Each structure stands twice: as C-alpha cells, then as structure tokens.
C-alpha cells in the first residue's frame, strides 16, 4: 500500500506526529502495532520531573530546567529535538485536547506536584482537570478515599506516606473507605469496571452520599482513585464533586490506566473521524533500504507481509510495550534495520536488582542524528527518510527523569516536521 507519510506506533509520540502532519495538510497513515503505552502509564504529560537522578529534588520550572539540560547535555534527545519542538508540540497538544473535548491544566512554565497512589509526590506538567486539585503545594487538608474490595488503592498507605513528609501537621491527612453498591466482595473487579459503574448516575450519587456521611467538616479535599468515568469523565467528575460537596481529585492507579484509556481512545477517535486511516493489528517489522533511503517497510498482516511504500517514515515507538526492540539473551536489536542496539555478557546487566532504581534497559534505543534519523556506526543516517520519536530513542530514561510525555511531544513533533521535509 502506498502512503504519504507512515507513522508507526500508538503512544503519545505517534499521536503527536500524526496530528502535526494532519494539521500541516499532509496525509499520514497510522500503523498500530497493538495497544499503546498510554494504557499502562500514568497518562499525565510529564515533561521533566527530575533533572538530576541522584537527588530527589523535583523540578519546579520544566521549561527553564530543560533549557539548562540542553546546554549541559547537547546529545540529550531534548537537545536534538530542540526546545521549540517542545513548545510548539505542547501548544499543538493543548489545542487538540480542547478540540477533542478535554479540559486539561498546566503549562510548561510550572510543574504541579501531585500525590501518587502510595502518597509520594510526583511532578507532572500537564494533567486532566480532574487531577489538579491534588496539588501538594496547596495547603488544604486531604482525605484519601478508598473503596471496599478495590485493591489498587489503599487509602491508609497513601495517608501515612504523605503525612510523613508533607509537613502540614497530624490533622492534614486522613483515610476513609466506603463500600460500593453492587460490589459485595465476591466479585473481582478492576478500575475499568469501576469507571464504567461511575457513569451510572444512581451509582455515583449513592457513592457520593456515603462519602459525604463520613466527612462532616468543610475545607478538605478528597483524593479518590482515578475511576470517575471512562467516556463521560468530565460530567462524572463535576457531578460527583457537587454531590460530595468538597473538591475531589483523581489519583492514577495501577494498569490498566483509566486516565490513559480516556486520553488515547478520544484522541484516536478524533483523529480517525477527521480522516486519518489507522491500520490496526499490524506489527511493522522490516525496512528495505536502498541508496540511503527507506523504500518500504513491511507489516505482518493476515496471510502475508504487506509492504507500505511511503515517502517518509516516523518510527514513533515506545520501546518496552510495543515490540519496538527485541531483546535476546545477549543483545537487544531493532526489528527494522536488524541492528544490535545493546549487548550484554549476561541478561542481568541490563537490569538493576532494586526495582525502583534507574533501570539500564530503560535507556536502550536507537542512537539518532541531530535530525532524529537512526544513526549508523559512523554517525550518519541509516536511511534519510526515517525519523525516530518517543521512547525508542537511546540515551534517556523516561521513567526515572519523569520526562516520557515531554519527549514524546518534542520528538514526535520534530520527527513529523523532518518527515515532511524529507
């Protein structure tokens, strides 16, 4: 099949690249290898949370901190993509979110500091409006509210962790639990099941009433797991808040991510309805290169390999979840150019024993040129019309630095611009 520009991937980088191309009047073809990282990750847009991985000092002003990062590390993917790509890409995302019916808050100028499900602080840049009231730089007391039988959010744990470091006094953090109608403890359920139940007005009102009974005092805000609706989440959130009678904020929980589902499903639908074709369920896995350009890539479609002939390609892959990189025992290779991206004497070299330490595998990926083309050993591009975006770029740890979203935006935007010029 022929295409103008093929974008491979399904995460935020792929969506940003596709939208950038569409806005510029080009015809992108979006190729989906399977579900996106947005289903697993936090789904807030984290631009830069920690500039120095050795300290626990969160970044307050991401735009300024990235300026400094670029000056200090000219090889960092942020430096390659450029600060303008981050600014323009972020503006594009904010417009798009609005057009797709979302209300989000935040700006590149300042990070919010939001509580996680275990009560630790996490710096995020752009967040859904339903999370914003959790900002820990504000002083109102917090009541963490869990739901009986729901195992992915333990309000007592969140409260005890938060009160340990927050410094707002003993009375500032509390935990409560309420039972849910219809979830009697015999049934296994996930955050998705709860989110669907919250779309039912009767269910939502009943739960709101039970919370209100437990919180007589005014002047508190209530943190609940992010389960307030899937498709009509903004109505659910505002209705619920009015019924509870206090500000309510959502806290992301373990996968599957309700926040990620909302974001991905709506942006995907929006872009599809505006005329972008998506090829579902077709992992892309080989590139044919001649004369310094990629002639075609191959998809594993039912029955046979399907060639996609495009003028340019954006490989907006996510490394760990969509098969972008293939890890053997000793080497990690890429499925397109079949190059070794990392090699290890033993597989354990690419992991750290402590789960919460920076993991070496997180920064494995394609080395790229200053135009985000995958690079050969001599430093030149492997193919002049292929551009990499998102987590598959080597040399940064999106998890440890809390920069996955910002890099997806900056590299997705820049790769799309380069692809148009290629």
* Residues 28-47 within binding reach of another protein (CB under 8 A): 29, 33-36, 39-40
277-279 and 248-251 as β-strands: parallel, antiparallel, unpaired?
unpaired
Q: What is the DSSP letter of 349?
A: G
Q: Which among 143-151, 209-217, 328-336, 376-384 is the span making contact with another protein, rule CB under 8 A?
A: 328-336
Q: Are 32 and 39 in contact (CB under 8 A)?
A: no
Closest separation in Å from C-beta 282 to another protein: 3
What is the C-alpha to C-alpha distance for residues 415 and 6, in angstroms, rounded to an integer? Answer: 12
Q: Which of residues 328 and 380 has its CB atom nearest to another protein in the complex?
A: 328
322 binds another protein (CB under 8 A): yes
Closest separation in Å from C-beta 179 to another protein: 17
Q: Are 4 and 310 in contact (CB under 8 A)?
A: yes
320 binds another protein (CB under 8 A): yes
| List 57, 201, 281, 292, residue binding another protein (CB under 8 A) | 281
What is the C-alpha to C-alpha distance for residues 270 and 99, in angstroms, rounded to an integer? Answer: 9
311 binds another protein (CB under 8 A): no
101 binds another protein (CB under 8 A): no
Q: Are 29 and 3 in contact (CB under 8 A)?
A: yes
Q: Which among 94-102, 144-152, 273-281, 399-407 is the span making contact with another protein, rule CB under 8 A?
A: 273-281
Q: Which of residues 332 and 408 has its CB atom nearest to another protein in the complex?
A: 332
190 binds another protein (CB under 8 A): yes
Q: Which of residues 196 and 221 has its CB atom nearest to another protein in the complex?
A: 196
| List 100, 192, 220, 286, residue binding another protein (CB under 8 A) | 192
Q: What is the DSSP string of 55-116?
A: S----S-HHHHHHHHHHH-TTSHHHHH-HHHHHHHHHHHHHHHHHTT--EE-BTTB-EEEE-
| List 120, 327, 367, 371, residue binding another protein (CB under 8 A) | 327
Residue 413: in which H helix or E strand, if any? helix 404-421
Which residue is associated with the tokens 């219809």?
182
Three state DSSP letters for 122-173: EEECEEEHHHHHHCCCCCCCEEEEEECCCCCCCHHHHHHHHHHHHCCCHHHE
283 binds another protein (CB under 8 A): yes
2 binds another protein (CB under 8 A): yes
304 binds another protein (CB under 8 A): yes
323 binds another protein (CB under 8 A): yes
Site string (10-29) toward another protein, x via CB under 8 A: -------------------x
Q: Which among 43-51, 213-221, 325-333, 397-405 is the span making contact with another protein, rule CB under 8 A?
A: 325-333
Q: Which of residues 165 and 280 has its CB atom nearest to another protein in the complex?
A: 280
Total of residues contacting another protein (CB under 8 A): 53
What per-residue string of b and e applies to 78-103 under the rule 16 or more CB within 10 Å gives b? bbbbbbebbbbbbebbbebbeebebe
330 binds another protein (CB under 8 A): yes
Q: Which of residues 265 and 288 has its CB atom nearest to another protein in the complex?
A: 265
What is the C-alpha to C-alpha distance for residues 33 and 285, in angstroms, rounded to an integer? Answer: 10
Q: Which of residues 160 and 359 has its CB atom nearest to another protein in the complex?
A: 359
Residue 340: in which H helix or E strand, if any? strand 340-343
Tally of CB atoms within 10 A around 128:
25
279 binds another protein (CB under 8 A): yes
| List 26, 168, 196, 221, residue binding another protein (CB under 8 A) | 196
Residue 225: in which H helix or E strand, if any? strand 221-225
Point out which residues bind another protein (CB under 8 A).
1-2, 29, 33-36, 39-40, 187-190, 192-193, 196, 255-256, 261, 269, 272-273, 277-283, 299-304, 306, 319-333, 347, 361
């Amino acid at each position: 099949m022929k295409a103008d520009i093929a974008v491979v991937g399904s995460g935020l980088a792929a969506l940003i690249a596709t939208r950038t191309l569409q806005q510029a009047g080009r015809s992108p073809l979006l190729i989906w290898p399977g579900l996106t990282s947005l289903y697993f990750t936090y789904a807030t847009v984290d631009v830069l949370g920690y500039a120095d991985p050795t300290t626990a000092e969160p970044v307050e002003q991401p735009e300024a901190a990235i300026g400094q990062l670029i000056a200090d590390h000219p090889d960092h993917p942020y430096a390659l993509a450029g600060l303008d790509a981050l600014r323009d890409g972020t503006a594009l995302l904010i417009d798009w979110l609005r057009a797709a019916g979302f209300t989000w808050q935040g700006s590149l100028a300042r990070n919010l500091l939001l509580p996680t499900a275990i009560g630790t602080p996490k710096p995020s840049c752009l967040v859904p409006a339903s999370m914003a009231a959790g900002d820990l730089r504000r002083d109102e007391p917090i009541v963490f509210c869990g739901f009986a039988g729901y195992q992915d959010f333990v309000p007592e744990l969140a409260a005890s962790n938060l009160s340990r470091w927050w410094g707002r006094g003993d009375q500032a953090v509390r935990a409560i639990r309420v039972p849910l109608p219809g979830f009697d403890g015999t049934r296994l359920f996930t955050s998705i099941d709860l989110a669907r139940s919250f779309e039912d007005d009767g269910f939502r009102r009943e739960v709101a009433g039970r919370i209100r009974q437990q919180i007589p005092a005014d002047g508190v805000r209530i943190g609940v797991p992010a389960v307030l609706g899937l498709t009509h989440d903004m109505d659910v959130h505002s209705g619920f808040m009015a019924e509870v009678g206090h500000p309510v904020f959502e806290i992301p929980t373990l996968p599957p991510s309700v926040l990620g589902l909302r974001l991905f499903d709506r942006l995907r639908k929006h872009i599809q309805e505006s005329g972008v074709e998506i090829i579902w369920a077709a992992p892309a896995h080989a590139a044919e290169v001649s004369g310094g350009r990629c002639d075609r890539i191959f998809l594993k479609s039912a029955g046979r390999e399907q060639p996609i002939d495009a003028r340019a390609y954006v490989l907006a892959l996510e490394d760990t979840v969509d098969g972008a990189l293939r890890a053997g025992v000793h080497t990690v290779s890429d499925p397109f150019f079949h190059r070794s991206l990392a090699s290890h004497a033993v597989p354990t070299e690419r992991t750290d024993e402590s789960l919460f330490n920076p993991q070496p595998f997180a920064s494995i990926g394609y080395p790229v040129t200053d135009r985000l083309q995958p690079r050969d050993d001599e430093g030149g591009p492997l193919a002049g019309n292929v551009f990499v975006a998102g987590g598959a770029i080597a040399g940064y740890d999106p998890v440890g630095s809390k920069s996955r979203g910002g890099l997806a935006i900056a590299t997705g935007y820049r790769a799309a611009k380069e692809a148009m010029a290629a």
